Every structure is written in C-alpha cells, then in structure tokens.
Structure 1
Amino acid sequence: MSYLSDNYVEETRFGLWFLRSHAWQHYVLRVAVNDLRSLFSEAPPSHPVLLDAGCGQGKSFQYLRQTFMPGRLIGVDADPHSLNRSREEAVNQGMTVELIGSDCASINVPDASVDLLFCHQTFHHLVEQEQALAEFYRVLKPGGYLLFAESTEAYIDTWVIRWLFRHPMHVQKSAAQYLEMIRRQGFEFGPRNVSYPYLWWSRAKDFGLLECLGLSKPKPFGQREETLVNVVARKPLEGAV
C-alpha cells in the first residue's frame, strides 16, 4: 500500500484489528477523552473546529462529538486504508467529518484555523515529532488547545508491545520529555492540566496481572516510571507575555 508519508511505520494486522475493537474504544479512547476534558482550567470553546491528528479508523469521532460538540470536525491520517475506515465510521455515526490524507508533519490546514487539536496515541508513531508539534502549533488559533494523550517509552519498549505492534523506537520518550517538548514549542500548561493515568492495560511488563492476583501492590505516583501522560496545553493569545 502507498502511504501518504515517507516516514510512515506500517502497523501490524493485529494492531489494525485492535484499533477498531471494543477494548480500544471503551478502555482506551473513551477514558482518554474523558480525562482530557477534566484537565481544562476553564470551559473549552463552544462548537469548536476540532482536528483529530492521526484519526486512524475514526473510532474517536463519537466520543469527540459527545464531549466537545464540534461545529466542524477534521480527521487527518497518512494511511489511506484507515481513512476509508474513518469515512465509513462517520457515515455509521451520522456525522460530517472532513478527512485529509496527510502526514502530521505537514497538515493541509490554514494557519490559526483550529480551536482544539486532539492527538491521542498518535505521537509515538511519528518520526518527525518536532515538525508535527510545530504544525499543531501553527494550525491552532491563539488561545486554542492541544489535547495530547500518549504512551511513553516505558510502555512502548515492553516486549509484548514490540511483538504485537510496530513503532519507530528511536523517537520514543518519557512523560517528562514529552511535556518538555510541548512547552519548548511554546504551549502553556500547569500541573492542573496534566495527568498520569495508571490504567491496568498500561502497566508495563504484566498489564497489572500481579496486582489483580494480589501478588503485588501498585507503586504510588513518584515511585514509578510513568507509562501514560495526558496534557491539555494552550497556545498563548496573541500579544500574551
């Protein structure tokens, strides 16, 4: 298949199947969207222009509609097969979604035209991460928000994930490194806008199995290497200092 990015890392068949499964939708997407909504310091924009960067097979659309009620929803992905699935999902959900075949490092959207940019479990697939983050900043309006939810290197570099999925391993980062990259790009956020979900499926090595069996206790925050980081980061208003 011809992908719309020279740096695209092809997903496994298992990965493509999993990304349209009930488990992905219910335990990953739904939870992430709800958590991101809770991280806003103030009410998000009403009827926003919302861009889903790396929309995959469109399973996020229904949750984004329920939570943010976008006036316009745009999906971007570099995989033509996934875009076709997204198109089918939009029809099934009775939604109007504008789909763009594009690399996140070069998005065909005008400057300062987006209110909310949703990037969920996409960034660790991208090779040109700095360029993609610069594009996110460019397309957001002043005062617009980046909704960023990612798995960290501590999770992506486990043997199970490396066996079942495909990722560019040389660009994986820790939670702190992702946050520093976002801040360095110029986005603003505080502790109130960041969370470190500690979900059963994100437990490195055993997916929380030993804890379920009562054979170990969960490590408290600050004593574990975070496997997930969510942040709602704002592009400063023009003229802000």
Structure 2
Amino acid sequence: MCDSERVTDDTPDAPDATPDATPDGRAGRLRRRWDREASGYDRAFAAAEGRMFPDVRRRLCALARGDVLEVAVGTGLNLPHYPPAVTGGHLVGVEWSPGMLDVARQRADGLGVDVDLRLGDAQRLDLPDSSVDTAVCTFSMCAIADERAALAEMVRVLRPGGRLLLADHVTSTFWPLRALQAVADLVSVPWAGEHFGRRPMRWVAARADAGELVVEQHERTRAGVIEWVAAAVPA
C-alpha cells in the first residue's frame, strides 16, 4: 500500500552510504523490486486509494507552503495536488528507487511543473538544517527501514514555524483488524519491508509533549487505518 519501498541498508548507520549507489543484500533486492514495479505501480495503487483514502492527498498537499520537501516522492502521485506556487520551482522530491523516480519525472513533465526530483535517503537527507518550510511524506513511512530517523530528519530540515505533513496507513483501532495486521507483518516485513503495525503519530505526539512540535490538524478514519496529521515546528 505504500507509495514505494524506502529502505537503504540493513545497517542504518553504515558509513559513507550514497543514495545513488547500488545497495547489496536485502536492501538491493527491495530496491530492484520497486524499480521493476514502478511502471505498473499507479494502476495497482489506484483501487486501494479510491476506496480507502480518496481525498487525503488533496487535503494534505493543499497545506504546503514556501519551500517544500517531499520525502519518498515515489511516482509523483502528490504532484497534481500541490498549490501552483509550490510546483513553480519550490518543491524538492527525494526518492530512493530510481525506477519510481523515472516515473515521477515523466509525471512532472506531463503536468508541466518545475520540480527538483532527486535520488536520496529519507533517513539521511542531503539538506542543511532549517532549509525548508514544509516537509511532506504520504503512505511511505510504512516502508522506511528506520521511520523514526526519517521523521527526525524531516523535522531537522524544517525552519522555525515550518510544517510537517504526514499521511499513512497505520495500526487499526479495531482489534480484529489489528490482529490481521500483525499477522500480515510476519510476511510483509521480511518480504517487502512494509509495516502494517506502525503509527507515526505516536512519534509526533511525543515531540508535541516535549514542546518540539505543535499539532495543528489530525484525522484518523477507516477503522483507524488511515491517519494524517499536520504539525508545526514552534517559531
């Protein structure tokens, strides 16, 4: 269900890792899988999106302002939903899968938008501190090897007053479905690196309790499986 696979190395703190290098082992296998599936990904994802979260991208991306970073941009499904001021030269999209990135570039060309799409690692963003006004990630934290590192990186690059925008499928509030998600994790995590039992909002809420973020909007639907949040770094 995730926009694409975003794992890098089996050892997150491996030195001198570069996002455009070909990883070995499990990470290499996962990247090759998503490269192969990139051309047909949008068709496969459309049915689930139309049924489960038809309006989430539009509502979330409409909140983006200023210089925007999208982490795990995938095939660029969010590109049509950003305000014109953002897609007029103020959007950077980072993606770990070259195949997915190629599709995103084709979409950007078709839309006629000015977007900087580049290979990159969500867990180690190649951007300076306090360099963007909005950081976005949709339906991808489920597949990042260390999602807490990726979230911390997104907050690191936000300017004071900047906004963090997240949406994902998360662990359900309905216990029978939550049990099914736990079973699914037994297969999906080792095979595809995708987690059904994660919930990034927990990390956001902890940072809000610590005074590092302020939750502005929050919504959870579909038996709690779909969740999105807008949070701001205090000015």
TM-score, reference length from structure 1: 0.67
What residue in structure 1 maps to residue 15 of structure 2? none
1:166-181 aligned within 5 A: 166-169=192-195, 172-174=197-199, 177-181=202-206
Q: 1:20 aligns with which of 29, 35, 42?
A: 42
* 8 Å Cα contact 1:119-1:149 kept in structure 2: yes
2:82 maps to 1:64: yes
Q: 1:62 to 1:159 in 2, by over 3 A?
A: same
* 8 Å Cα contact 1:137-1:185 kept in structure 2: no
2:138 maps to 1:120: yes
Deviation, 1:132, is 0.9
What residue in structure 2 maps to residue 236 of structure 1? 234
Query: In terms of mean alpha carbon deviation, does 59-68 or 101-110 score higher?
Result: 59-68
Structure with the largest fraction of strand: 2
Q: 2:108 aligns with which of 90, 100, 103?
A: 90
- Alpha-carbon displacement from aligned partner over 1:95-137 (angstroms, at most 9, x marks no partner): 1111121110111122211111111001111111221111101
What residue in structure 2 maps to residue 186 of structure 1? 212
Q: 1:33 aligns with which of 42, 50, 57?
A: 57
Alignment gaps of 5+ in structure 2: 1-5, 11-26, 173-177
CA distance in 1, matches of 2:85, 2:55: 12
Deviation, 1:232, is 0.2
Deviation, 1:26, is 5.3
Alignment gaps of 5+ in structure 1: 199-223
Q: 1:144 to 1:102 in 2, by over 3 A?
A: same
What residue in structure 1 maps to residue 3 of structure 2? none
What residue in structure 1 maps to residue 24 of structure 2? none
Q: 2:169 aligns with which of 141, 151, 161?
A: 151
Q: 1:10 aligns with which of 30, 36, 45?
A: 30
Deviation, 1:174, is 3.9
Task: Provide the secondary structure at the position in 1 that maps to 2:58.
Answer: helix
Q: 1:106 to 1:176 in 2, by over 3 A?
A: closer
Q: Which structure has the larger Rg over C-alpha atoms? A: 1
Task: Provide the secondary structure at the position in 2 that maps to 1:153.
Answer: coil
* 8 Å Cα contact 1:18-1:24 kept in structure 2: no
Q: 1:17 to 1:87 in 2, by over 3 A?
A: closer
Identity %: 20
How many matched pairs?
A: 200
CA RMSD in angstroms comes to 3.6
Q: 1:174 to 1:86 in 2, by over 3 A?
A: closer
- Alpha-carbon displacement from aligned partner over 1:192-239 (angstroms, at most 9, x marks no partner): x110122xxxxxxxxxxxxxxxxxxxxxxxxx5x212110000111xx
CA distance in 2, matches of 1:185, 1:18: 42
CA distance in 1, matches of 2:207, 2:226: 15
